[in-house]
Chains A and B, each alone.
Chain A
Amino acid sequence: MNAENLIALLIAAPLLGAAVLLVGGRRLDGVGHWIGTLLSTTSFVFGVILFADLLGKNPEHRTLMQHLYTWVPVAGFQADVTFRLDQLSMTFVLLITGVGSLIHLYSVGYMEHDERRRRFFGYLNLFLAAMLLLVLADNYLLLYVGWEGVGLASYLLIGFWQHKPSAATAAKKAFIVNRVGDMGLSIAIMLMFATFGTFAFGPVFAHATGASEGKLTAIGLMLLLAACGKSAQVPLQSWLGDAMEGPTPVSALIHAATMVTAGVYLIVRSGAIFNAAPDAQLVVTVVGAVTLLFGAIVGCAKDDIKKALAGSTMSQIGYMILAAGLGPIGYVFAIMHLVTHGFFKAGLFLGAGSVMHGMNDEVDMRKYGGLRTYMPVTFITFGLGYLAIIGFPGLSGFFSKDKIIEAAFAKGGTEGWILGTCALVGAAITAFYMTRVMLMTFFGEKRWQPDEHGHEPHPHESPKVMTIPMIVLAVGSVFAGGFFSIGDRFLHWLEPITGHSEGNSPLSAAAVTGATMVCLIIGVGIAYLQYGRRPVPAVAPRGSLLTRAARRDLLQDDFNHVVLVRGGEHLTRSLVYVDHTLVDGVVNGTAAGFGGLSGRLRKLQNGYARSYAVSMFGGAALLVAATLLMRAV
C-alpha cells in the first residue's frame, strides 16, 4: 500500500469518530470516550507511519499528494479534493494528532462526571478532523472547508456548557469574531482566483512572483485578517479570553494543537505570496509585535488562571506571527515555536485543569496558594511547562523563543531594532506573569475558603488518566526544543518547504541570548518581589490604571462596544433615517405628487357634456393644426 493512500485516513479516523459518537446516541455513552480517544490515536499512528515514510525519502521528494476526486469540475474553475503532505503539514499532523490524543486521554478523566461526555468527545474528534483537513488541503478552497470546520467545532466546544449563559455568549462571540477573519480568507481566495485563475497551492506559489505587488499585498493583507481571526491577533483577539468558558481540555486543544495555530500555518504556507509583498509582511510583523505585548500585559493582570494562560497564548502566538512576518528568516522558527508552544501550553492548560479539578472548579488564583504539597505531579509538570515558556536555558521555549528574538533583530534596520526590542520586552513580561501564576497557585499560604454551600475544597492529585498526558507533555516541554535544535534538525527538516535565509543581525547570537536572559531574570525577579516575598491579598487590590485596564483585557471589549457596536448602531440608525426620509421620501413624494396631480385632473371630469365637447374640439383643432404644420414643413 502506498503511503499516499494513508493521508485521507488521517482525516477519516477522527471524522468517523465524530460521526459515530454524534449519531450513535446514548447507547454509546459508556464507551464513547474510549472510541474518541482510540480514533484520535489511530490518526496519530497513521501520522507516525507517514512520518517514518517521509524520513526515508530524499529531503527534496518529501511531498506526498493524494488526489481523492474533483470536487467542482467546471470549465475554468476546478477545485480538487487533493491532500498534500509535506514537511510543514507533517509537523502539524503530528502536533495535532499527538497533543490532541493526549488531550483526549486527559478528558476521559476530566469530563468523567459530565453526563454529555460522549458528545464532548464527538466534538473533539470533529475538531481534530477539521484541523487536519485544514493543514492537509492542497488548495485554498479545501483549506477553507477545514478553516470553517475548525470555527464550527470551536463554537460547539466553547459553548459546551451551554446552560451557562456566559458560555453560550462566549461561543457566539468566538464564532462571530472568527467570521470577520473568515471573510478575509474568502476575499483572499477570490482575489487569488482573479489574479492567478486558480487557488491550488502549486500554481499560485509558482506564479506569485510574476503578479503585481499591489494585488499580492491585497491578498496578503486579507490572509492576515483571516489569521488574525483564527489566531486571536489584534484587532480580532477579543474572543480568546472569553473562550475560557469552555471545559479546560478544550482550551488546551484550542491553544496548543488546533485553532490558534491555523493562522500561523496559513501565513507560513502562503510564504511565497508574502515574500513577494514586503508591505504585507511588515503589517504581519507589526500585528505580531503588538499582540505579543498586548497578550503579555493582559496576562499579567488576570486573576483567573485560565485567562492568564489565555493572555499568554495570545502573546506567544504573537511571537509566531512576528516570526512568520519576517519572511524566510523566521518561517522555520515560527513553526518551531509553535510546536514547542504546543507542548508546554497544552501542559500548562492541562495542569490548570488539574488544579481546578482538585479545587471544586475554582479558577481564581487568589483563592489557591500553597498547592505544591497537595498536587505534586501537577506541580512538577506545570512547573516544567512554566520553565519552558519563560525560556529557561535548556528547555524548549529557550531554543525557539530565542531564535525568534534573534530573527527579529536580523530583520535589520530600525524595524529590526524595534521588533527585537518588543520581543525582548515580551520575554520579560512573559517571565513576570508566568512566575506570578506559578507563585500564586503553588506557593505561599493556602488561601482557599469554603464556597457558598459550605464545601471546603480538598485539593487532591488528579487520577492517572489525567496526570499521564501531563507528564508526557512536560517531557516534550523539556526536551523538544533541544532535540529540534541539535544540529539544526528542525531547520533542515522544514527548509525545503519554507526556505531559510540567515539575516544579518546587528547583534551576535550570544548577545541576544544574554539580553533574553537579563529580561528573564528581571521578569522573574519583579514577580518574586511582588508575589513571593509578600502574602497575596485574597481580594484583588484596586491597582494602577494599567492594571485595571489590563483586567478588562486592555479595554478591547469596551473598544469594540464603543466603536463597533455603538458605531454599528449609529450606522444602522442613520441608514434607517436615510431610508425613511430619502428613499421613502422619494417614493412617497412621487406617489403624493401623482395623487395631487390626479386630484386636479379629476376635476376635469365634471360631468358637463359641453366641457367634454370643448376638449374634443380642442383636440381636433390640435390635430388639424399639427397636420397642417407637417404639410407646411
Chain B
Amino acid sequence: MNPVYYLYLAALLFTIGATGVLIRRNAIVVFMCIELMLNACNLAFVVFSRMHGNLDGQIIAFFTMVVAAAEVVVGLAIIVSLFRTRHSASVDDASLMKL
C-alpha cells in the first residue's frame, strides 16, 4: 500500500485538530484536538521513517508520546483548577490576560 495515503490521513487529522482548537470553546474538546494534532504528527513521523528507511522518525514519535503524556497531566490539572474556580470549562471565559 502506498505510504503517501498515510500522509494524507495525517494531514487530515492535523487539520481537524487545528480547526477544533480554533473553533471549539470547551477546554476539554480543545485539549483533545491538540492531542489529535500531536498524534497526526506522530503518524507523519512514523510514515516518513518508513519511507526513508531509517528509525529517527519512530524515535521522535516516542518522544512525542512522552511529552504528550506529561502535557496531559499538566493540561488536565490546569483545566480542572480552572473549572473549580470559574465553574466553566469554556476557554473564552478565561480571558483576563488583556488590557
Q: How far is the CA of A610 from the CA of B30 in the complex (A)?
A: 9
- Which residues 5-36 of B sit at the A interface, judged by CB distance below 8 A? 18, 21-23, 25, 30
Q: A614-B22, A617-B18, A617-B22 are contacts. A609–B91 as well, Cβ < 8 Å?
A: yes
Chain B binder among A361-369, A587-595, A600-608: A600-608
Q: Is A628 an interface residue (CB 8 A)?
A: no
Q: Chain B residues near A607: list those with CB within 8 A.
A: 94-98
Chain B interface main SS type: loop
Q: Is B92 an interface residue (CB 8 A)?
A: yes
Nearest to A602 among chain B residues (CB) is: B99
Q: How far is the CA of A443 from the CA of B88 in the complex (A)?
A: 117
Mark B61-99 against chain A: 1 for CB-CB distance below 8 A, else 0: 000000000000000000000000000000110111111
Q: Chain A residues near B99: list those with CB within 8 A.
A: 602, 605
Q: How far is the CA of A610 from the CA of B20 in the complex (A)?
A: 10
Q: Cβ of B92 and Cβ of A608 under 8 Å apart?
A: yes
Q: Chain A residues near B23: list those with CB within 8 A.
A: 610
Task: State the Cβ distance, A617 to closest chain B Cβ, in Å.
Answer: 6
Nearest to B23 among chain A residues (CB) is: A610
Q: A617-B18, A617-B22 are contacts. A610–B98 as well, Cβ < 8 Å?
A: no
Q: How far is the CA of A608 from the CA of B23 in the complex (A)?
A: 12
Q: How far is the CA of A617 from the CA of B95 in the complex (A)?
A: 19
Q: Cβ of A609 and Cβ of B22 under 8 Å apart?
A: no
Q: Cβ of B92 and Cβ of A605 under 8 Å apart?
A: no
Task: State the Cβ distance, A50 to closest chain B Cβ, in Å.
Answer: 87
Q: Chain B residues near A610: list those with CB within 8 A.
A: 21-23, 25, 30, 91-92
Q: Is A539 an interface residue (CB 8 A)?
A: no
> Out of B21, B25, B95, which one reaches A613, CB within 8 Å?
B21
> Out of B18, B21, B91, which one reaches A608, CB within 8 Å?
B91
Q: How far is the CA of A381 from the CA of B22 in the complex (A)?
A: 112
Q: How far is the CA of A605 from the CA of B95 in the complex (A)?
A: 10
Q: How far is the CA of A614 from the CA of B30 in the complex (A)?
A: 13
Q: Cβ of A606 and Cβ of B95 under 8 Å apart?
A: yes
Q: Chain A residues near B25: list those with CB within 8 A.
A: 610
Q: Chain B residues near A606: list those with CB within 8 A.
A: 95, 98
Q: Cβ of B22 and Cβ of A608 under 8 Å apart?
A: no
Nearest to A616 among chain B residues (CB) is: B21
Nearest to A620 among chain B residues (CB) is: B18
For the complex with contacts A602-B99, A608-B95, A613-B21, 19 further pairs of A-B residues with Cβ separation under 8 Å are A605-B97, A606-B95, A606-B98, A607-B94, A607-B95, A607-B96, A607-B97, A607-B98, A608-B92, A609-B30, A609-B91, A609-B94, A609-B95, A610-B22, A610-B30, A610-B92, A613-B22, A614-B22, A617-B22
What are 8 A-to-B residue pairs whose CB atoms are below 8 Å? A602-B99, A605-B97, A609-B30, A610-B21, A610-B22, A610-B91, A613-B22, A617-B18
